[in-house]
Chain A
């Protein structure tokens, strides 16, 4: 009865999977660029941002076409409107991965003032959150979405650890200040990526349950 409509929704799912995998790839490259001080990976992550931006535009057009042609209601409307909101956060994640890579490029030829242990953990945790949030949408998996939302606290704790370490390093030697600022920026970008993953997961929750937790709170 609604073959075309279902095909379009399937296409939307697939496009989101593709955009999700682009972001995951971009974060992976960013992590490698940072931990291995690999300039090539950093440049790749920066260049990748363009592909992510293009995918956002493609998905946006598809959503608008779906609304125009199918006038979706109920679950269908939530599926399309959630996708429209999610891609904004996904695009921002791509920007932030590129921002981190730009700093990684600057730091590639200097030795780090500290081990990147917590930053690496943050990077891995946020990458997982991004993957899980997109998977949760595609699989309509409410439990997975909620795990992502709860994981935000872990990322925030790592950020506090990084910040404390950097403050200590600056106290030890003022010359650490410049790189400490760069590393703090990197940690902050990862923390923001975590926030965007939470936003995505909240829209997944909305698309399944019909209520958005922020509208309940307000």
Chain B
């Protein structure tokens, strides 16, 4: 079932066209990977899904993005971002305790009850596969954690507001192989509850964790399909050239 449906999406930053006639369906409870060279529009596409590009001056969007058949431009932007959470490339915990990092979102959305917040913090850290490591350090600063732990705290923070979709922009590019493996494993378990869209430069990561892959080039989707098909028998020569490293 389609969670997100993107139709004829054009996006301009001033005179520069960053996305050109993008059409894509993102199925529910699947992991969709966006791949492509730097500047191809994949991160722009990701950010468009929760209207992060609204913050950029001169950004103009045409076409439509439907979330559960509702145009996201017509939704309240805060309500949209509650439903479509995001994790960034570099772990960016707030300069506060682990507990407060996770409780930040729910508090912003009006949750005040201590017991309820405790439950949310525990469940979120649990879902982000870091509860056992941090349950005795909840009051310590999140900035003192390792990069891999910080990133999982950020994932927990995103999960705390119970989103339906999780956007991940190269979530492991700043992490060591062990932390990367933990996040990849985590992402695979999260898809039962969430729809996940991940931007990655790591082809093997896309192969390992995603169900579907879309290949972007010059703001367009050259090819999309199941990850297995795209990485075994790509239909377009440009896809083949890119994934086999012949590009350029």
Tell me, yes or no, whether A73 is within 8 Å of chain B by CB: yes
B248 touches A77 (CB 8 A): no
Assess the B247–A1 pair: CB atoms within 8 A.
yes
**A1–B207 touching, CB < 8 Å:** no
Whether the pair A1, B231 counts as a contact (CB closer than 8 A) is no
Say if the beta carbon of B71 comes within 8 Å of chain A. no
Q: Sort chain A's interface into a size bin.
A: 10 to 19
Residues of A within 8 A of B245 (CB): 1-2, 5
Write out the residue numbers on chain B whose beta carbons fall within 8 Å of the beta carbon of A177.
Answer: none
Which of B204, B243, B248 contacts A74 (CB under 8 A)?
B243
Q: CB-nearest residue of chain B relative to A70?
A: B245
Whether A213 sits at the interface, judged by CB under 8 Å, is: no
**Cβ of B33 to closest chain A Cβ, rounded Å:** 13
Chain A residues positioned under 8 Å from B203 (CB to CB): 71, 73
CB <8 Å contact, B231 and A73:
yes
Asked, given contacts A73-B207, A73-B243, A75-B240, whether A1 binds B233 with beta carbons under 8 Å apart, the answer is: no
Q: Mark A3-24, 1 if CB is under 8 A from B, else 0.
A: 0010000000000000000000
Contact: B204 with A71, CB < 8 Å? yes
Complex Cα gap A42–B209 (Å): 55
Tell whether, in the assembled complex, residue A1 and residue B232 are in contact, meaning their CB atoms are under 8 Å apart.
Answer: no
Q: Do residues B204 and A2 form an inter-chain contact, with CB atoms below 8 A?
A: no
Which residues 227-241 in B have Cβ within 8 Å of A in the complex? Answer: 231-234, 240
In the complex, A73→B229 CA distance in Å?
A: 11
The residues in B between 210 and 248 inclusive whose CB is less than 8 angstroms from any CB of A are: 231-234, 240, 243-248
From 151 to 183 in chain A, residues with beta carbon under 8 angstroms from any chain B beta carbon are none
Across the interface, do A74 and B233 meet the contact criterion of CB distance under 8 Å? Answer: yes
Interface residues of B in 75-132 (CB under 8 A from A): none
Instruction: Judge if A76 is at the interface, Cβ distance under 8 Å.
Output: yes
Total residues of chain B contacting the partner, CB 8 A = 14
CB neighbours (8 Å) of A2 from chain B are 244-246
Decide: A75 and B244 in contact? CB cutoff 8 A.
Answer: yes
Interface contact B246-A77, CB-CB below 8 Å: no
Contact A210 B232 (CB under 8 A): yes
Complex Cα distance, B204 from A90, in Å, reads: 31
Complex Cα gap A72–B243 (Å): 9
Give the docked Cα–Cα distance between A2 and B241 (Å).
11
Contacting residues of chain B (31-80) with chain A, CB-CB under 8 angstroms: none
User: Could you tell me if B246 and A74 are in contact, using CB atoms closer than 8 angstroms?
Assistant: no
B-chain residues with CB within 8 Å of residue A78 when the two chains form the complex = 232
**What are the residues of chain A within 8 A of B246 when measuring CB–CB?**
1-2
In A15-47, the 8 Å CB interface with B consists of none
C-alpha spacing A211/B229, complex, angstroms: 11
Residue of A nearest to B240 (CB): A74
- Among B203, B204, B234, B244, the most chain A Cβ lie within 10 Å of the Cβ of B244
Q: When chains A and B are docked, how far (Å) is the Cα of A73 from the Cα of B233?
A: 9
**Which residues from chain B contact A210 at a C-beta distance below 8 Å?**
232-233
How many Å from the CB of A42 to the closest CB on chain B?
Answer: 45
- With a cutoff of 8 Å between Cβ atoms, the chain A residues found around residue B231 in the complex are 73-74
CB neighbours (8 Å) of B248 from chain A are 1
The reply to whether B232 and A72 contact each other, CB–CB distance below 8 Å, is: no
Give the docked Cα–Cα distance between A2 and B242 (Å).
11
Q: Is the CB of A76 within 8 A of B244?
A: yes
Contacting residues, chain B, for A77 (C-beta < 8 A): 232
A77 to B233, CA, bound (A): 10
Q: Which of A99-129 contact B (CB under 8 A)?
A: none
Q: In the complex, A71→B204 CA distance in Å?
A: 8
Contact yes or no, B233 A72, CB < 8 A: no
A5 CB contacts on chain B under 8 angstroms:
245
Complex CA distance for A97 and B83, rounded to whole angstroms: 68
Residues of B within 8 A of A (CB): 203-204, 207, 231-234, 240, 243-248
For this complex, 16 residue pairs linking A to B, each with C-beta atoms less than 8 Å apart, are: A1-B245, A1-B246, A1-B247, A1-B248, A2-B246, A5-B245, A72-B244, A73-B231, A74-B232, A74-B233, A74-B234, A74-B243, A75-B240, A76-B244, A77-B232, A210-B232
Known A1-B245, A73-B232, A211-B233; 10 more pairs at CB < 8 Å = A1-B246, A1-B248, A5-B245, A73-B203, A73-B207, A74-B231, A74-B233, A74-B243, A76-B244, A78-B232
